[in-house]
Amino acid sequence: MEKVIFLSDTHFKHRVATDDERRKRRLFTSFIDDLEGLSRLYLLGDIFDFWFEHKGKEPGYYKDILRALSKLRNSGTRIFIIGGNHDYWLGNYIEEVIGIKILPQLHTEEIQGRIITMTHGDMLLKGEFGYKALKTIIRNRITIKLAGLIDPKLLFAFAGRFSRTSKGITHKRTERAARELIGRAGREFFRWGNDSFIMGHVHYPYHGRIDSKEFIILGDWEEHFSYALLEEGRFFLERYLPGKKTLSENR
């Protein structure tokens, strides 16, 4: 029986300095170990709080995470990833060494008879013009080339500070942003012949039905440890609790 899992927003830090970060990594690697035999795994952005490959080499901060994903990939699971606003700069190492296929920012495909559109979702919120302008600059080829000239430790330290500031601002708006997206979903998120729309970015787990269509916000792995499961054409939004039966939010 084919099982497919979607998750996002684990936000692994480049410094494993806190108990929360250590616990999050232990939970994630335990979860990945439990997925042996899974058909497909979709990682919908912000898996890493920052990612940059200097000269195509692995950033040295995520060895435990990459080791777990590589092991799962070698077991036969196909793994796909969409870059988020924190880890947009995914490169050759992810695809050529780990074997994870990088997908476009908005991706639609048929799985188990469902036509699914998936994205990280950071460009879906209304307004936020300053953020969108900054994102355009960050994704510019010249910016990326210049970043490659900066010492990796300095680059990651700067990115970590920026991430903390950004998170402090957006955390207060999380539920409001989710409600705004839910209100727009039926009008805007089913324009590609899809019957399902899955996104991350907003750290608020949600699974709703709009007529015969389904809208899912995956939540996060900082507070909710949530993910979506597709099995026999049905979606379930669940939370990972190691050592216990998995809780489903909509069964």
Facing residues of 117 across strands?
108, 197
Residue 184 in this model has a pLDDT that exceeds 60 = yes
Q: Which residues contact 36 (CB under 8 A, 6 or more apart)?
A: 72, 75, 77
Residue 63 in tokens: 């060895």
Predicted local distance difference test score (pLDDT) of residue 166 = 52
Provide the number of structural domains found in the chain: 1
Residue 147's pLDDT is what? Answer: 56
Closest Cα partner for 220 from 232, 234, 202, 246?
Answer: 202
Range of the domain at 177: 3-248
Over residues 216-223, the mean pLDDT reads 95
What pLDDT, on the 0 to 100 scale, is given for residue 161?
Answer: 59
Angle ∠(140,150,132) on CA atoms, nearest 5: 30
**What pLDDT does 86 receive?**
80
Find the CATH number of the domain harbouring 157.
3.60.21.10
Token readout for 184 is 């727009």
DSSP for the chain, please give it. Answer: --EEEEE----B-S---SHHHHHHHHHHHHHHHTTTT-SEEEE-S-SBS----GGGPPPTT-HHHHHHHHHHHHTT-EEEE---SSS----HIIIIII-PEEPPSEEEEEETTEEEEEE--TT-SS--HHHHHHHHHHTSHHHHHHHTTS-HHHHHHHHHHHHHHHHHHHGGGHHHHHHHHHHHHHHHS--SS-SEEEE-SS---EEEEETTEEEEE---TTTT-EEEEEETTEEEEEE--TTSPPEES--
pLDDT at 60 over 80: no
User: Which pLDDT tens digit goes with each residue over 138-177?
Assistant: 665 665 565 555 656 665 665 565 555 455 445 557 888 8
Task: Share the mean pLDDT of the chain.
Answer: 83
Which has more confidence, 99 or 152?
A: 99
